[in-house]
Amino acid sequence: MRESFIAAGFDPARCDFRLYDNSQRNEHDPYQVIPTLNDVSPDRFVILCHCDIRINRDAGYDQLLERLNQLTTIDPQWAVAGNFGVMRGGKRIGTVHDYAGTSFPGPLPQKVTALDEDFLVFPPNRHLSCTPGLSGFHLYGLDVCLNAYFSSHTCYVIDFELTHLGAGPTQIPEFKAAVHNFINAWSPRFALAVVTTPTDKTLRLSKWAPLRWALNSWKVTRMLGFFGLSPVSKPEIESYFPS
C-alpha cells in the first residue's frame, strides 16, 4: 500500500505515514483513533485507510489535492471525504474497484450520508467525533459521517479512483454484532430513520424499542414481503439531512 502511494506522488518528503498495527490485537480501535486525528498536523489533510488498497488507477497526490481544494471551494463545511459511499435514498456511488471489479459511477463530488472505511480523508482544522460506546472495525465510516452531520458538517464522495482488495464480508458474527450495537447507539436520536451502509445493509432506527425491533426483524420483513409490503424501505434519513 505504502509503495503504491509513493509511486503515485505521495513522497515521504511531503507526506507522513503512520501505521496503526492491529495485526495481533485491537490495539488501535478506529472509533478511538478518529477523534485523535483532530490533533494530528492541524494544517494538513489526513488520510485514514485500509492497508489493502492500492493507488494504481492513474490518480495520485496532485489529483487528490486538486479535488480536495475544489471540494473546499464548493463546500467549506465538509468534514469527511472518500471514494465510495451512499447518497440519500440509498444509492451507492463511488470510484472503487474491488475484488468483484465493481464501480458505482456518477457525477462527483457528491454529498453522501455514509462512506466506506477503505479510504477516508479529513480536512485541516478537523472537528471529528465518534459515538461513545461503539468499537471495532465495522461501520465507523457511517458513524463519523452521522456525527459530522449532527455537527452541521457534510460528507462527500470525490473522484479518486483506487483499488480495494478486501471483500468486506457482512455475514460474519463481528459485523452482525456491530450492526446491533450501532442500531442501539443511534436509535435514541430518531423517531424513525433508515440508513444504508456502503455494503448495502439497511439499518432502521427508532427510539421506540418495539418499533425498532419489528423493523429490523427478518421475520417481520419476510412476512411483510409475503403481503407485498415493505418495512419502511426508504423514508430515509432525508428528514434529518440537509439537501
* pLDDT (tens digit per residue) in 98-142: 766 667 878 999 999 999 999 999 999 899 999 999 999 999 999
pTM reported for the whole predicted model: 0.88
C-alpha cell at 143: 458513524
**13-53 tens-digit pLDDT:** 999 999 999 888 778 999 999 999 999 888 999 999 999 99
**46-85 tens-digit pLDDT:** 999 999 999 999 899 999 999 999 999 999 999 999 999 9
Domains of the chain listed by start with CATH number: 2-164 (3.90.550.10), 173-239 (no CATH)
Counting Cα atoms < 13 Å in the Cβ hemisphere of 2 gives: 6
Cell 418499533 appears where? Answer: 211
Of 72-81, 145-154, 186-195, which gets the smallest average pLDDT?
Answer: 186-195
Tell me whether residue 170 is exposed, middle or buried, using C-beta atoms within 10 angstroms of its C-beta: 0 to 12, 13 to 18, 19 or more: middle
154, 82 contact by CB (below 8 A)? no
CA angle 183, 38, 174 (to 5 degrees): 30
